[in-house]
Amino acid sequence: MNNILIIGFGVASTAYASLLDYNKNKIFILGTPLDKKKIIKINKNKKKIDPIFRVNFSNNVQFFSNIKKLESIKFSLVVVGVNTNGLEWAINQINLINLNCPILLLTKGLCVFNNKIQTISDYFKSKTKIKHIVSATGPCLAGELIKRTHTRTLLSSTSIKVANFVKNILKNNFYHPVISNDYKGSEICAAIKNIYATVIGAAMGQSNSYLKFKDKKNNYFNAASFLFEQSLKEMTIIVKKYKGKPDTVLGPAGAGDLYVSALGGRNSKLGFFLGQGFNFKKIISSQMRNITVEGSDLILKIGSILIREIGSKKLPLLNFLFTAIVKNQKFIINWKKISN
């Protein structure tokens, strides 16, 4: 039985805790300061039922709010499941105890250091003493993983041996990970697919200016497919620019995750409202108030860098969205610019 530390008690962490519990590991969940009330509540509940997904954890799962209580335990694996806003906190926790095991990174996104784009795993390595980091990317909806739906993700690392080690801990009869050494390509795909899911989400409103809204609801799939294809082209250009492998875009981390994200979720919902003609600031102050949207957050962080280093002509969809979000202008797809 492996001892596994999970940092963060959000949606992704809960799903992987459920998976690892099913695989009969001993799990220690360290909640963030925002999880403190939930940790206190769940520790009072002898059945250990997660309050959001109603996951009934076994007695092999324990919950903590202070990492100092875990410093004497030898872990086989550390799973980091915080969002990008919690990265610094997670790094500080890791540096408080002596760890000699790989990290499985569930966090999706990209960092900016010295005005340059950097993967989260590279950022982690620069801030900790951890030698081996494995990134989990690809389509993995938390609710479906908890319900044990067949799921295929990509585990990427500079070390195939370490990636295989993590794969053997995770895999079972419904979770089917594959491995790659293209951590740059997979992490870039996992982040920027949120940008392009937003664009595809706008397909209904942008499909045909002559159609009435009631007709657009059933006549936008050709347009969405058009945008999906163009999104993969632009994702490939971005991945190649930052030393990733183009083939990764066609796998779980790229096309697979983009497909799932475009079907629904916060990014595609933002795209829907943008496609209907609402301005970005109006949307985030009303229809999507207090909702974190990864795609818009990311384009605000790295959009100008991508346009500067690659060019708006090579990334027309990204440029259309950048203009709408950063300049708060009406989102318009110029179909002629992506028809060649």
142: its two tokens: 């938390």
Taking only the tens place, the pLDDT of each residue in 233-273 is 999 999 999 999 999 999 999 999 999 999 988 999 999 99
User: Which pair of structure tokens corresponds to residue 185?
Assistant: 């390509």
Question: Exposure string (b/e) for 236-261, b if CB count within 10 Å is 16 or more?
Answer: bbbbeebebbeebbebbbbbbbbebb
Contacts 24+ apart (CB under 8 A), 121-128: 121/183, 121/187, 123/87, 124/80, 124/91, 127/91, 127/95, 128/91, 128/94, 128/95
Prediction pTM value:
0.91
* Between 221 and 90, residue with greater pLDDT: 90
Alpha-carbon 87 to chain mean position:
13
* Residue-wise pLDDT tens digits, 308-326: 999 999 999 999 999 999 9
Residue 103 CA to residue 81 CA, distance in Å, equals 10
CA 172 distance to own-chain centroid: 22
> Percentage of the chain with pLDDT > 70?
94
Residue keyed to tokens 């950048």: 322
pLDDT tens per residue across span 11-61:
999 999 999 999 999 999 999 998 888 888 888 876 667 667 777 888 899
Q: Exposed, middle or buried, 94 (CB in 10 Å: 0-12/13-18/19+)?
A: buried
In this prediction, residues 277-288 reach a mean pLDDT of: 92
- Complete domains list, the chain, with CATH: 3-181 (3.40.50.720), 188-338 (1.10.1040.10)
Cβ neighbours, 10 Å, residue 329: 12
According to the model, what pLDDT value does residue 329 have? 93
Q: How many helices (H) and strands (E) does the chain have?
A: 15, 10
Q: Is the pLDDT of residue 211 over 60?
A: no
179 phi and psi angles, rounded to 5 deg: -120, 160
Residue 215 backbone zone (phi > 0: left; psi -120 to 50: alpha; other: beta): alpha
Do the beta carbons of residue 279 and residue 163 sit within 8 Å?
Answer: no
- Residue 39 contacts by C-beta under 8 Å, 6 or more apart in sequence? 9, 29, 31, 63, 64, 65
